[in-house]
Amino acid sequence: MPDAESAPMEARREELRAVLQSGLFTRAPTLAALLSYICERTLEGRGSEIKEYSIAVDALGRDASFDQEADSIVRVQANRLRKRLVEYYEGPGKRHRIHISIPVGQYVPTFQDQGHQWLASRPDSVAAAPFRLRLSARTLSLLLVVILAVLAGLFFLARRTSAPSPTAAPAETPVPSSPSLIGLPVGDEVRILAGGSHDYIDHAGKTWTADRYYTGGTPVHSPVPHIWRTQDAVIYRTSRQGEFQYQIPLKPGIYELHLHFAETLYGPEGQEGGGEGSRVMQVRANGQPLLSDFDVVADADGSETADTKVFTDISPAQDGKVHLEFASVHGGRAMVSAIEVLPGTRGRQRPLRILTRDVPYYSNDSHWWSPDTYFKGGQLALRHGLVAAGDDPELYESERWGRFSYAIPAAPGSYNLLLHFAEHRFGPGNRDDYVGPPHAENAGAGARVFNVLCNGKTVLRELDLFREAGENRPIVRKMAGLEPNAQGKLLLDFVPLKDYATVTAIEVLPE
């Protein structure tokens, strides 16, 4: 017979095993690995060793150079794990005596004994049966263990007998990414708000520092309330203008440079009027030209619009710095809104993954997805818990819908484009949940039809999600060999033919 100390410990381990064997976690191996790691360390009396760095390296597979300031994977995954545990204990684990939870702001789990509260809430509990009050606490505990064992056996038997046939699969299995593109390059990241006097944390959780490393020029702030194609207008409301340079210190290596612009002075609604041709400039890096006769309004297809230019294979000069020079050419004054320097890979752009939501996301395969960006038009909608197929249903819980476009910056090269969809609007299972313009009950095939164009060429024609996949089921379409247009962009247009267009996520991967 186990003693008083070992019995609770074994019950905790049994609860951990039950959680890990549940469908909510067998379908989420990354979350299962994280839960197993922090619980085992705690049960071994090593809870003090559970730190953000150790979780990243020991449980999530990051290498020893992991930087928790630059990589938020642990915080993101811990938050997802908290939500998954809440979902588990609101469902299959509701009657379990022990509940596992992770307090907000911590990584060490707690094992909460729910036994007394569970008994008191049942109509046939101890309170409703006086003669049971004479049973000892040990006897009651044994009875509870037996009851829970029987319930667990029935639960798993029911799951086994009701599980779908192994041949049943989603209408289309998501297309896997190339193994070599699973992780982003690791290293230092630099983000500078040109002309800015305060740091800023964007929707992705990344910190942009106040202006630094510059000489010359003048800081300018614009009161423009809205900037197209971004959720972070703050980044584009300040700029450095005139004749100026930046000397950015970097460790030896290969980097990717992103220059961010938005024209807030010239344009039909600008303070100075004008538009194309009002401001033209050139930009050089370490003496080599990056942009010649560059016109922000023309490149962005309008004023008050975020415009990003991407350059690969950037390395510091012999003095350990990247030297950027901004010079006026024909009119106006040279300018830049923000500068971003990221670890890069020689000869190719970093993979880009965008999810239609306002916060970042780590998918179960440890891919990092940026919050929605580069968009114009349409609306965001969240559709919690509807997608029933696929390994990562949370990836398909949101959408941008309407008539919209994405202007995705891309360095010269060839790219694979993966578009993720799910039909959240039409079908008998959606009509009670959808909030939006009315649609016919039970409408399915033919209710929503749209085209997708890339740089003016149709890449998906008359796409009908319900016809191809049914309701609330993931579908992925892959287009290969795409090249950026003359402005260095993959311009994606989602054009409704009937009802509205929609998309859930976008991947742009260098070939």
Count of the separate structural domains present in the chain? 3
Kindly tell me the sign of the dihedral angle through the C-alpha atoms of 466, 395, 483, 415. negative
CA distance 396 to 363: 11
The percentage of residues in the chain with a pLDDT greater than 70, rounded to a whole number, is 80
- The CA–CA distances, whole Å, from 88 to 92, 100, 120, 336 equal 6, 10, 22, 49
What is the domain-level CATH number for residue 194? 2.60.120.430
Average pLDDT over residues 218-247: 96
End-to-end CA distance of the chain: 62
At 461-476, the pLDDT tens digits run 999 999 998 888 899 9
Residues 300, 364 share a domain: no
The percentage of residues in the chain with a pLDDT greater than 90, rounded to a whole number, is 58
Query: Which amino acid appears at position 387 of this protein?
Result: V
Q: Torsions phi, psi of 429, nearest 5?
A: -80, -10
Residues 403, 489 share a domain: yes
Q: Can you give the pLDDT at residue 135?
A: 41
At 403-443, the pLDDT tens digits run 999 999 999 999 999 999 999 888 776 754 445 555 555 57
Residues 251, 200 share a domain: yes
Residues 367, 333 share a domain: no
Q: Which of 143, 162, 181 is the last residue of a domain?
A: 162
Residues 196, 265 share a domain: yes
In Å, the largest CA–CA distance within the chain is 95
Q: Can you give the pLDDT at residue 479?
A: 97
CA distance 508 to 492: 11
Q: Torsions phi, psi of 461, nearest 5?
A: -115, 130
Q: Which of 326, 343, 360 is the last residue of a domain?
A: 343
CB atoms within 10 A of CB 292: 11
Residues 238, 153 share a domain: no
Give the structural domain span for 487. 352-510
Token pair belonging to 230: 């971004």
Q: Which of 343, 375, 396 is the last residue of a domain?
A: 343
Residues 49, 145 share a domain: yes
**Model confidence at 384, in pLDDT bands (50, 70, 90)?**
low
Q: Is the pTM of this model over 0.85?
A: no
Residues 360, 328 share a domain: no
Q: Can you give the pLDDT at residue 153?
A: 55
pLDDT at residue 379 is higher than 80: yes
475 is a domain residue: yes
Residues 497, 409 share a domain: yes
CA distance 262 to 230: 11
pLDDT at residue 173 is higher than 60: no
28 is a domain residue: yes
CA distance 20 to 33: 9
Ranking 155-159, 191-195, 290-294 by mean pLDDT, the lowest is 155-159
Judge whether 468 and 475 are in contact, CB under 8 Å: yes
At 272-297, the pLDDT tens digits run 778 899 999 999 999 999 999 999 99
| pLDDT: which is higher, 248 or 136 | 248
Find residue 493's DSSP bridge partners.
405, 453
**Model confidence at 143, in pLDDT bands (50, 70, 90)?**
low
Residues 378, 297 share a domain: no
Residues 383, 260 share a domain: no
